[in-house]
């Protein structure tokens, strides 16, 4: 998954402004407690980060974006 696709999906789920907040401020258990931005900066594959987002927010991510 390209980063542009990742950010598009994240913004579709949370809205443009809140997506940035989630990416910077929310520690995600499935990413060993890293934030989205930290995980991406450490080279974690975007598809892995996206799957972690889907697992962390199952009620927010619609099936068509999974």
pLDDT digits (tens, 9 = 90+) for 11-60: 999 999 999 999 999 999 999 999 999 999 999 999 999 999 999 999 99
d(CA 56, CA 54) in angstroms, rounded, equals: 6
Residue 53 has a pLDDT of: 97
Q: Whole-model pTM?
A: 0.92
d(CA 24, CA 41) in angstroms, rounded, equals: 11
Residue 8 has a pLDDT of: 96
Name the residue with tokens 């990416």. Answer: 23
d(CA 56, CA 25) in angstroms, rounded, equals: 14
Question: Hey, is 30 helix, strand or coil?
Answer: helix
The rounded Cα 14 to chain-centroid distance in angstroms is 10
Question: Hey, is 34 helix, strand or coil?
Answer: strand
pLDDT band at 61 (very low <50, low <70, confident <90, very high): very high
């Amino acid at each position: 998954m390209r980063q542009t696709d990742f950010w598009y999906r994240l913004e579709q789920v949370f809205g443009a402004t809140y997506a940035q907040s989630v990416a910077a401020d929310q520690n995600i258990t499935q990413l060993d407690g890293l934030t989205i931005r930290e995980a991406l900066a450490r080279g974690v594959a975007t598809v892995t980060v996206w799957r972690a987002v889907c697992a962390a927010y199952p009620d927010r991510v619609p099936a068509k974006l999974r």
